[in-house]
Amino acid sequence: MNPWPGTFFTYNNCNIKVLKAKIVNNSHNLQPGTVKIVNNNKLLVACQEHFLELLSLQLPGRKELSSSQFLCVLPYLTRYCFTIN
């Protein structure tokens, strides 16, 4: 699944584009928007019933990064929870 025309989230006043994502059909009891990192290389975001796995992302002015590369750049993202503004 490629979010089109595009989607992004803001982290530390930085707009980060989500270029590729997929649905992961694992149930959970997390608050929607909660970030979960699996095996230090999978970046999951809790949705109402399942997860959305962010596969590739892009920081402003940078090239596309896989989720594992992205987590090397922003390792503290596990403490983050997406919210709707």
pLDDT tens digits, one per residue of 4-45: 677 888 888 888 999 999 999 999 999 998 988 888 889 999
| pLDDT for 85 | 54
Residue 84 is assigned to a structural domain of this protein? no
| Nearest one of 58, 48, 59 to 25, comparing CA atoms | 48
Residue 1 domain-assigned (yes or no): no
Q: Domain of 20?
A: 7-79
Q: What is the mean pLDDT of residues 55-60?
A: 93
For residue 83, pLDDT beyond 80? no
Q: Has residue 2 been placed in a domain?
A: no
pTM value is 0.84
DSSP annotation of 11: E
Going by pLDDT thresholds of 50, 70 and 90, the confidence category of residue 63 is: very high
